[in-house]
Every structure is written in C-alpha cells, then in structure tokens.
Amino acid sequence: MPEKAYSRSLKERQKRQREELILQCAEAVLLEKGYHDMSMDEIAARVGIAKGTVYLHFAKKEDLVHALLDREMLSVLQMIETAKAMDGTVRARLETILRSLYPGLSEKRDHLLYLLFSESDIRTAMHEKHSAVMYEMSMQVTQLLEEGKARGEFRAEIPTRVMLLTFFSLLSARSYKRTLKDWDIEPEVVIDNIAGIYFRGIAADRPERHDEDEAR
C-alpha cells in the first residue's frame, strides 16, 4: 500500500474510533443526566479530548443525539432482519423480535430511548431524519405478517396494517413503565402474557396448514 494511502487509512480508522468513543461517552452522560443537562464540555472531558475536537465530529448536541439514535435504530433493524431469516414458524420469529425489543428486558436501551422520545423536539426531528429506517423496520415486520397469512398461521381477514400497528403498540415503553414499577411485575411475565394475547388474537383456526400441505 502506498505511504499516502496508508496514512489516510490510519487517520480514517483513528477518526472512526474517536467518534465511537465520543458516542459511548455521550450515551453515558445522557443516561446519567438527561438530555438538557448533557453538555459537550463533559463529553469532551470524559473522552479526554478538547471540546473543539468533539465539534469536528458533531457540530452540535442534537447531532450527537441523532447519531446515537441512528446507531440504536440500525441495531434494531439488523436484529429484525436476523430474526426474519431464522427457520421456524412466523410466530416464533415475531416472538423473537418482540422479546428482543420489549421495554424492560433491555433496561439500558429502554431508558435511552425513553429519554430521547420524551423530548418533543427530538421526537419530531426523529420522524424526519430517521423515517427511512423506521419504514424499513415496518416493511420487514409487514412481510413476516404477510408470510404468516400465506402459510395459514394468521387470520387472512384481519388487515395486515392492523396487525402491524398492534404489534408495535406492544413495544411502547410508556404503556408498561408504571406497570413494571408500581405493580412489581417481572418484564418476562408481562411479555409472556401480551405475546399470548396478541398471537391468539391473530391466529388462524388451523395454523401452519401450509407446512402440513408441503409435507404431504
């Protein structure tokens, strides 16, 4: 590799590593202090760099927050795609997604997203800046629901859009935050029950007929 190309590659790698460290420290400060008390000065101090260096990567605090959201949402999308590609029934794959995303089972991510979504300005900007990833998530789950209908697992007469909206409404952190805190119910107990209610509601009379027909 030519010396100049190697130098560029090394600098680029160092830049990415420094940016990742900034994001890690920003996440820690956000979780500890909340959005309004999160400061670029403290993030720079924790990383061990000048504040001006932080601004070279992120021009303002909002850019940092959106980078954190990008990272979380792309991680969720990857998880959905992985679950979708698994073997087994459609219900089993959707349950994998539900359990991976359910508020309370991943306290750190739940708290981070709750902090961000509770800020109206961030919530509004999120729909504008991250709509493509959100749309892709919805499409992946929609395709699974359609596959479930085609395989005879789910009731064909229920609009897929209704199934989709109901599925994502089960993941609302606000809906279960008080239940988990005040009623002393374990998240696993809640997810077991809401998953059972949801999938019994959309289940066809004879689930998996498609698989049975193929086996003949």
Return the DSSP state at 154.
B
How much is the pLDDT for 182? 65
- Of 145, 170, 169, 168, which is closest to residue 158 (Cα–Cα)? 145
Full set of structural domains in the chain with CATH:
1-59 (1.10.10.60), 61-215 (1.10.357.10)
> In the prediction, which pLDDT does 116 show?
66
* pLDDT, tens digit (0-9, with 9 covering 90-100), for 21-31: 999 999 889 88
Which of 117-131, 163-177, 193-207 shows the lowest mean pLDDT across its residues? Answer: 117-131
**Residue 136: is its pLDDT beyond 50?**
yes
Q: What is the pTM of this model?
A: 0.74
Identify which has the larger pLDDT, 211 or 63. 63
Long-range contacts: 10-13, Cβ < 8 Å, 24+? none
Measure the CA dihedral 139/140/142/146, to 10°: 130
pLDDT at residue 48 in the model: 93
d(CA 188, CA 105): 7
Tell me the pLDDT tens digit for each residue of 36-94.
888 999 999 999 999 999 999 999 888 888 888 888 888 889 999 999 999 999 999 99
Share of the chain above pLDDT 90, in %: 42
Considering only residues 210 and 151, tell me which one the structure prediction assigns the higher pLDDT.
151
pLDDT over 60 at 130, yes or no: yes
